[in-house]
Amino acid sequence: MILYDAHHLAPCYAVRLLAGCLGVTLELEPLDVYPGHANQTEAFLALNPLGTLPVLVDGPCIITDWLEALAHLALTHDRAWFPAEHAALIGWLGMARDLGASAGAARLIDTFGAPGDAAAARAQANALLDEVERRLWFSERGFSERGFGERIGQDWLIEGPHPSIADLACFVFIAPCEDGGLSLRDRPALRRWCDRVRFLPGFVSMSGVFPPMANTGR
Amino acid sequence: MSGLQPGVWYAIAAEHDLPKDHVYRTMLGGHELAAWRSTDGAVHVWEDRCPHRGVRFSLGEVVGDELRCQYHAWRFGKTGACTFIPAQPDLKVPRTIHAAVWPVALSAGLVWSGIEPTGAPPELPPGAVLRAIPIARAAASVAHALVKEPLSGLALVLQPLDETATIVRGIALDDDLVRADHALLALRRRLEQAA
Amino acid sequence: MTPVDPILWNDWHPVAARCMLDPARAHETMLLGVPLVVTINADGTIAVQRVDHAAPHQDERYGLVWVCLGTPTREILPIPEADEPDRPIVVVGSVGVRASGPRVIENFLDLGHLGYVHARYLGDDPHTRVLPYTVEPLPEGGIIATQCKMFQPQASPAATEGFMVDYIYKVERPLATCLYKANPVQRDRFDIIFLIVQPVTEETSIAHPLLLCLPDGTTPAALRAFQQTIFMQDKPILENQVPKRLPLADGAELPIAADKSSVAYRRWLSAIGLTWGVIRADEKARAA
């Protein structure tokens, strides 16, 4: 499998992160997006007319949407990451896209000088982060999506003992959101959840997202 | 640095905010604080700032009974003393290198701290610890709104973050955390949408 | 209006890289609190204007656009190695950071974090001991640190194994630093990395790294990716340093022997009287 990749782009990181958790090897084809604009060459646009990264190539399959790439990897390697019986999976993947358009955009604007209105992006992101915080907090307390009753505390966005692609898809925008001027200081449930993702076996980092420190015996 | 009265205990976290191997981050009266739990369950509240180059401890990691700073991996033990400096592993670390330790008390499922607090933290009635809600208004405004329109069934305390923001914490007397959450979010909307 | 620190006001600073500019979109930036607009037209001509349309002193060198808002007291930072024919300049791409310029420079000089923040790239546990090194003033101002050694698992994209790398660091202007690193293939010559920091506000900056490396088959794209990765690892550290402005008073923060360059850098900034982005020794610390 080949992944056309740029290290610092969160959607690319999401695919690399899932691959790490699945123990799957990807052959990386790095592109110099910034400042090289290598995703706008004729050759790349022939592969993906939208010019976006990542692109996952698995045999004859060319997948140009990063969420679809996550779904593809999960479905082909470990369905525990793709809880299809939960409608919430779709909601959370939609949330991930919205986080990308807001928190992700603010990060690219502030860090790499990408075009856009960082203040507007942050305002949108803050509302979304507050909502993820609220739902995670209630999840931790044991409240399910559909009803309330004492259950065992949940660690992940979707009910159940196993993380899903929804967690990783949201994590790649939430973990580095402070790069874009947002803050997780008053969002303790998000901070705890980020640690849980970081401590997953096979976790890989993106620059700016700290992996667990070495020599910690975890 | 205002609004923080010496001698007073302020709630700065819920006990459930401090799982193992995690650094909790907050602010009190303009002071940035980090809190973590050692393996014996004790809670430690420090100024959120490594004395080496000022990097926030909350960026670091708890490993067993030590907090490691993310920058140079200096290790700090439960007492706040620096115990190991990897760049100079043979150095016996001078006692002058330590975290700034704040007082801690645990009560009513909350973690309390403050500047030279006296006595015990305020008693709260039994119930379920609420989700803490930050409100972008000064503590005095929040307090005033709660006096004008009290929220029934809730015992609340205020944590002034700084002059412009407050966290509302407390207990739901009827254990109905969802109802309490709705009430506090409504309070937040009323306050933040007003001038 | 409080006058801006004359040391920086009357010096040259980068405000953009040519390769980042686009004829379709004016580039808005800020230098020392002053908003600027940088444009490039179809024939490649670059112009910098202030919001009132006045044009400050401007020039282009090393692929970067430089501006002096005041009256230049000296020329743009000279980089003699830029003239060596076998040494192409690679502009890495500017990165914004919510940190003061002096904090960014000081981090670049720091050896103790290489094995942690840049684990597996520039250093690694357990080889994180910082061996003693030497720091001296430069005759024209600034400091030079020599005999810096660090074990690096992958000191550059071309390196195939780890080895002890010799470093020399220089700071020649308050916001410009460079590193001479022994080239992994031609061990008697150096690769050079410059970090020039654009002071945006006292608490925010834009870093402009430049690479002047001896060709060894590594593509410019790979060199850029490596340096960007390194800087992006430093970014959250820099943005989480409190206070934002670099404290110059002895004892404000606690250096150890490994921090000799940082101590020398802070003392030099005190000696020249820099006020921008620092908390002077005689100043009561303002809230971060």
User: Residue C34: which CATH number?
Assistant: 2.20.25.680
CA-wise closest residue to B23 among A36, C39, A192: A192
The SS3 assignment for A85 reads coil
- The answer to whether the CB atoms of B131 and A143 lie below 8 A apart is no
Same domain, C150 and C33: no
CA-wise closest residue to C233 among C126, C152, C116, C102: C116
Q: Which residue of B has its CA nearest to A178?
A: B59
Say if B48 is an interface residue toward chain C (CB within 8 Å).
Answer: yes
Say if A188 is an interface residue toward chain B (CB within 8 Å).
Answer: yes
% of chain A surpassing 90 pLDDT: 87
Architecture of domain B10-113: 3-layer Sandwich (2.102)
* Buried residues in C195-229 as b, exposed as e (16+ CB within 10 A): bbbbbbbbbbbbbbbbbbbbeeebebbbbbbbbbb
Mean pLDDT of all residues belonging to chain C: 90
Query: Measured between alpha carbons, how far is A6 from B165 in angstroms, rounded to an integer?
Result: 38
Mean pLDDT of all residues belonging to chain A: 93
pLDDT score for A218: 57
pLDDT score for C2: 66
Confidence of residue A149 (pLDDT cuts 50, 70, 90): very low
Chain B residue set in contact with A, beta carbons under 8 Å: 13, 16-17, 19, 21-22, 24-27, 59, 61, 63, 68, 70, 73, 131-132, 134, 161, 165, 167, 177-178, 181
∠ Cα A28 A29 A30 (to 5°): 100
Instruction: State the average pLDDT over residues B115-127.
Output: 96
Distance from CA of C116 to the nearest CA of B (A): 6
Q: Which of C96, C97, C98 sits opposite A113 (nearest CB)?
A: C96
Domain count, chain C: 2
Of C48, C68, C88, which residue sits at a domain end?
A: C68
- Assess whether pLDDT exceeds 80 at residue B50: yes
- The answer to whether the CB atoms of B26 and A185 lie below 8 A apart is yes
For the four alpha carbons of A133, A137, A138 and A140, in that order, the dihedral sign comes to positive
Give the range of the structural domain holding residue C27, as residue numbers without chain letter. Answer: 6-68
Could you tell me which residue, C149 or C36, shows the higher pLDDT?
C36
Same domain, C121 and C144: yes
- Assigned domain for C285 exists: no
> Is-contact B27 B161, C-beta < 8 A?
yes
CA end-to-end span of chain C: 22
- The answer to whether the CB atoms of C128 and B73 lie below 8 A apart is yes
- Assigned domain for C215 exists: yes
% of chain C surpassing 70 pLDDT: 95
- Assess whether pLDDT exceeds 60 at residue C1: no
Same domain, C91 and C10: no
Could you tell me which residue, A176 or C152, shows the higher pLDDT?
A176
Same domain, C101 and C124: yes
Angle in degrees, 0-180, between the axes of helices A165-174 and A188-198, rounded to the nearest 10:
120
% of chain C surpassing 90 pLDDT: 65
Residues of chain C with Cβ-Cβ distance to A36 below 8 Å are 19, 220-221, 224
- Assigned domain for C1 exists: no
- The answer to whether the CB atoms of A137 and B131 lie below 8 A apart is yes
Could you tell me which residue, A116 or C288, shows the higher pLDDT?
A116
Same domain, C190 and C264: yes
- The answer to whether the CB atoms of B53 and C125 lie below 8 A apart is no
Query: Measured between alpha carbons, how far is C227 from C234 in angstroms, rounded to an integer?
Result: 11
- Assess whether pLDDT exceeds 60 at residue B2: no
- Assigned domain for C155 exists: yes
pLDDT score for C251: 78
Q: Which of B48, B73, B97 sits opposite C116 (nearest CB)?
A: B73
Q: Which residue of C has its CA nearest to B73?
A: C116
Same domain, C137 and C247: yes
Same domain, C21 and C154: no
Range with the poorest average pLDDT among A109-123, A145-159, C221-235: A145-159
* Buried residues in A148-169 as b, exposed as e (16+ CB within 10 A): eeeeeebbbbbbeeebbbbbbb
Could you tell me which residue, C283 or B102, shows the higher pLDDT?
B102
> Is-contact C89 C212, C-beta < 8 A?
yes
Q: State the CATH number of the domain containing residue C118.
A: 3.90.380.10
Same domain, C119 and C203: yes
pLDDT score for B194: 81
% of chain A surpassing 70 pLDDT: 94
- Assess whether pLDDT exceeds 50 at residue C117: yes
Distance from CA of C37 to the nearest CA of B (A): 34
- Assess whether pLDDT exceeds 50 at residue C288: no
Same domain, C100 and C221: yes
Same domain, C93 and C169: yes
pLDDT score for C284: 61
Residues of chain B with Cβ-Cβ distance to A213 below 8 Å are 61, 63, 68, 70, 73
Residues of chain B with Cβ-Cβ distance to C113 below 8 Å are 71-72
Distance from CA of A92 to the nearest CA of B (A): 21
For the CA atoms of chain C, what is the radius of gyration?
19
- The answer to whether the CB atoms of A208 and C221 lie below 8 A apart is no
- Assess whether pLDDT exceeds 80 at residue C185: no
Q: What's this model's pTM, rounded to 2 decimal places?
A: 0.95
* Torsion region of C63: left, alpha or beta (phi above 0 gives left; psi -120 to 50 gives alpha): left
Confidence of residue A150 (pLDDT cuts 50, 70, 90): very low
Range with the poorest average pLDDT among A190-204, C181-195, C226-240: C181-195
Same domain, C253 and C181: yes
> Is-contact A172 A25, C-beta < 8 A?
no
- The answer to whether the CB atoms of B25 and A192 lie below 8 A apart is no
- Assess whether pLDDT exceeds 80 at residue A140: yes
Residues of chain C with Cβ-Cβ distance to A215 below 8 Å are 125-126
- Assess whether pLDDT exceeds 60 at residue B1: no
- Assigned domain for C74 exists: no
Distance from CA of A194 to the nearest CA of B (A): 10
Of C38, C68, C98, which residue sits at a domain end?
A: C68
Tell me the pLDDT tens digit for each residue of C118-171. Answer: 887 787 777 778 888 999 999 999 999 999 988 877 656 666 777 788 889 999
Same domain, C156 and C20: no
Say if A147 is an interface residue toward chain B (CB within 8 Å).
Answer: no
Confidence of residue C287 (pLDDT cuts 50, 70, 90): very low
- Assess whether pLDDT exceeds 70 at residue C280: yes
Token readout for C15 is: 């405000």
